[in-house]
Amino acid sequence: MPALNVEFSDRELEDLRQIAKERGTSMKALVREAAAADIARHRALQEGAEAFRRFFASHKDEFAAAFPDDEPPVKGEGRAA
């Protein structure tokens, strides 16, 4: 399995040791769990954003009607130079 060396400050390393001890796990497992949780959160945010984009695109006319002031100007409209 590929590995990654990660550097921590002395304070961070001591905090990791303490947390791992309190949880009854190794520092390696603690860091891996934290990274895995962040990866899962990132994926969930990406999926949520994509679901919102699809929802918005499929209801764009309804949003335009409900919020006309937020619509971009149509070409040819607006102030003349």
Nearest Cα residue to 72 out of 81, 9, 63, 80: 63
Give the Cα separation of 55 and 61 in Å (integer).
Answer: 12
Residue 9 backbone phi and psi in degrees, to 5: -70, 165
Give the Cα separation of 33 and 25 in Å (integer).
Answer: 11
According to the model, what pLDDT value does residue 66 have? Answer: 95
Q: Per-10-residue mean pLDDT for the chain, 81 residues long?
A: 92 97 97 97 98 96 93 74 53
According to the model, what pLDDT value does residue 54 have? Answer: 97
According to the model, what pLDDT value does residue 7 have? Answer: 96
Tokens 């335009």 locate to: 64
According to the model, what pLDDT value does residue 79 have? Answer: 60
Length of the chain: 81
The pTM is what?
Answer: 0.69
